[in-house]
Chains A and B, each alone.
Chain A
């Protein structure tokens, strides 16, 4: 407890230095905002790859310590996009399923904040129905040749690697069989990356086309054909963290400053409702972290947590609008800019990492309804 408290103090000092230097702007950056220099400084503080073993550049710390660091960085509104996905899911996936050569080559670079990963799941014709993917790899001497396309790939144009889900055997009656996960070097010949601008006017999305890209055998994760099992595991990392609660927190902070809760009872009630809700969903998220660390089953709780957290993230800009009538303006005051960023990004919260409807289906299955 005391250790966690002192770690929190330490992260806050780091965040304060970054904010003083103008590198953190409350409510205007997100955990997908790519800033390599920021990630390298985070890594130098030991805030990347925290729970990994030292031999791979990690720091051998507990999941709870990592949770504290993550939530402090998120609450501050730090730009985490250059290492977030690698730290949260790609690295752990490689740690668990990668060959020794791959682990040695990639993990220390992630831990140093020098290596960005992107997620190769969605395709033009495969969104929620991931088992229908068409990207496929053909066996060749010493590896595989991958062809196909991935889409909505956040920060692919800034990434060194992608973990791509692809078919390594033709589709059969078992739609989940014959898929594999591979670690793809995005600088390889045959990779073409095209930007897609999102509704916030930001170029973080991409379409990634593979034309017979060579992937060495050492870059296949786990057993060939076990891709579905692997990708399900990867999604558990993706759904369980504080990044599913705090995406609009910068705006909530600015709202707490903007409204007069002493004079305006309605504002006090509404603000209190959001803050209370956030603190209780955080309790669930922390319980989940302890479950995961202890190896207890966590699928149902992680799925519920993401659904509740992202719903709150989406509610915050709407309540803010109702309480404090300012139009969203990208060139306005700090509050108006944060409102614009929160409103424009909110639709993605219940899409990325599994849509709300898919989550409800998973929860229903966990409850034994289907």
Chain B
């Protein structure tokens, strides 16, 4: 592990241990603001850490594993792509163009401006005032903002010429990393529960049908981790394509489906109750699957390239 990453993770762990389960989103936000973690991807010239994407992804993964409040992915994105003189702590961030329907963003509580990002051939950013923008919240402490679908069309886009990594690579990978953390936690608590809960005189873990559910969950998690690590290594080396990020995000979405379903199946009724922690994790998966690159958009993106590659080009498209 790099020195940057281990410092980052130590600092994040300390913060999460102290604050994650207590206090309001605002109190938690104050702690995050003091920690400076949101500056992970901000260029050094703008007072940030200028860390590698894989370092930021490690942070997002840890955040996901604790189901911590505040949308870490969007905070990191806003920090990465905001114009140099921008007040980062008044920003929300979001990715345009890779999810159908209203444009979604999230950020600091009480954010006054929204930084929308887009990838493709000409990566760009656009700023919107947040007043009057419709908020929505179906996870405690996870308020999100919704802009009309047309907002992005009429925006005043500023080209992101100096960005080392386009947003349509960074955003899906960071989101997939956060989802990976969530799934790691779900698999861990589900394995524990299956080894404690007894029915018919033996633990659930002794039933073959339950073992299959857990095997499938472990398999999806292993693929997601391996693909995420490979894509992050490519991104750090400046070789990642939008397709690589799409494949990882789509895999995280597929894994989310299997892991959430199988965990709920094993936990039974207690996992369906508001008092149990499971829903705080599975809800994040169901939401994030469609954000920062919706599942279907990611698959369509790969499919278009695969179709264009055809019989002779398909293998190289996968290997490149």
A contact set with B: CB distance below 8 Å? 8, 26, 71, 75-76, 249, 252-254, 256-257, 259-262, 265, 267-273, 275-284, 286-287, 300-301, 304-305, 307-308, 357, 359-361, 363-364, 367-370
Which of the residues B208, B247, B308, B314 comes within 8 Å of A276, measured between beta carbons? B247
Can you report 25 A-B residue pairs in the complex whose CB atoms are below 8 A from each other? A71-B319, A253-B314, A253-B315, A268-B299, A269-B303, A271-B303, A272-B304, A273-B302, A273-B303, A275-B303, A275-B318, A276-B298, A276-B299, A280-B223, A280-B227, A280-B248, A283-B231, A284-B226, A286-B230, A287-B229, A304-B218, A307-B215, A360-B211, A363-B211, A369-B211
Bound Cα distance A282, B318 (Å): 9
Chain A residues touching B, majority SS = helix
Bound Cα distance A257, B246 (Å): 21
Min CB distance A274 to B, Å, is 8
B317 within 8 A of A: yes
Identify which of residues 279-316 in chain B touch chain A, using a CB-to-CB cut-off of 8 Å. 296, 298-311, 314-315
Are B218 and A262 closer than 8 Å at their CB atoms? Answer: no
Bound Cα distance A145, B43 (Å): 74
Which of the residues B205, B216, B298 comes within 8 Å of A272, measured between beta carbons? B298
B146 within 8 A of A: no
Number of chain B interface residues as a range: 35 or more
Q: A272 and B212 in contact (CB under 8 A), knowing A280-B224, A280-B247?
A: no
Bound Cα distance A76, B251 (Å): 25
Which B residues are CB-close (under 8 A) to A254? 311
B contact set with A: CB distance below 8 Å? 191, 194-195, 205-206, 208, 211-212, 214-216, 218-220, 222-224, 226-227, 229-231, 244, 246-248, 250-251, 254, 296, 298-311, 314-315, 317-319
Q: A367 and B214 in contact (CB under 8 A), knowing A253-B314, A272-B299, A276-B246?
A: yes
Min CB distance A336 to B, Å, is 14
Bound Cα distance A281, B317 (Å): 15
Which A residues are CB-close (under 8 A) to B300? 265, 268-269, 272
Which A residues are CB-close (under 8 A) to B310? 253, 256-257
Are B219 and A307 closer than 8 Å at their CB atoms? Answer: yes
Which B residues are CB-close (under 8 A) to A75? 315
Bound Cα distance A357, B211 (Å): 10
Min CB distance B222 to A, Å, is 5
Bound Cα distance A369, B218 (Å): 13
State the 6 A-B residue pairs at the shortest beta-carbon distance, nearest first: A261-B307, A272-B303, A268-B303, A272-B302, A280-B227, A364-B211
What would 19 more interface pairs be, CB under 8 Å, given A253-B314, A308-B220?
A256-B314, A261-B307, A262-B307, A265-B300, A272-B304, A275-B303, A280-B223, A284-B226, A300-B218, A304-B222, A304-B223, A307-B219, A357-B212, A359-B215, A361-B208, A364-B205, A368-B195, A369-B191, A370-B206
Bound Cα distance A363, B314 (Å): 32
Which A residues are CB-close (under 8 A) to B206? 369-370
Q: A277 and B251 in contact (CB under 8 A), knowing A256-B314, A261-B306, A370-B205?
A: yes
Are B218 and A363 closer than 8 Å at their CB atoms? Answer: yes
Min CB distance A337 to B, Å, is 14
Bound Cα distance A162, B205 (Å): 38
Bound Cα distance A279, B191 (Å): 28
Which B residues are CB-close (under 8 A) to A361? 208, 211
Bound Cα distance A308, B296 (Å): 21
Are A256 and B299 closer than 8 Å at their CB atoms? Answer: no
Are B306 and A275 closer than 8 Å at their CB atoms? Answer: yes
Q: A364 and B214 in contact (CB under 8 A), knowing A252-B314, A275-B314, A280-B226?
A: yes
Which B residues are CB-close (under 8 A) to A357? 208, 212
A71's nearest neighbour on chain B, judged by CB, is: B319
Q: A369 and B194 in contact (CB under 8 A), knowing A280-B247, A360-B211?
A: yes
Bound Cα distance A284, B226 (Å): 5
Which of the residues A269, A272, A287, A367 comes within 8 Å of B218, measured between beta carbons? A367
Q: Which of A259, A276, A281, A308 has the most CB of B within 10 A?
A: A276
Are A256 and B318 closer than 8 Å at their CB atoms? Answer: no
Bound Cα distance A301, B226 (Å): 10
Which A residues are CB-close (under 8 A) to B317? 275
Bound Cα distance A75, B208 (Å): 35
Which A residues are CB-close (under 8 A) to B311? 26, 253-254, 256-257
Q: A283 and B227 in contact (CB under 8 A), knowing A272-B250, A273-B303, A304-B219?
A: yes
Are A369 and B250 closer than 8 Å at their CB atoms? Answer: no
Which B residues are CB-close (under 8 A) to A261? 303-304, 306-308
Are B254 and A267 closer than 8 Å at their CB atoms? Answer: no
Q: Which of B230, B299, B305 has the most CB of A within 10 A?
A: B299
Min CB distance A320 to B, Å, is 13
Bound Cα distance A8, B316 (Å): 10
B237's nearest neighbour on chain A, judged by CB, is: A1
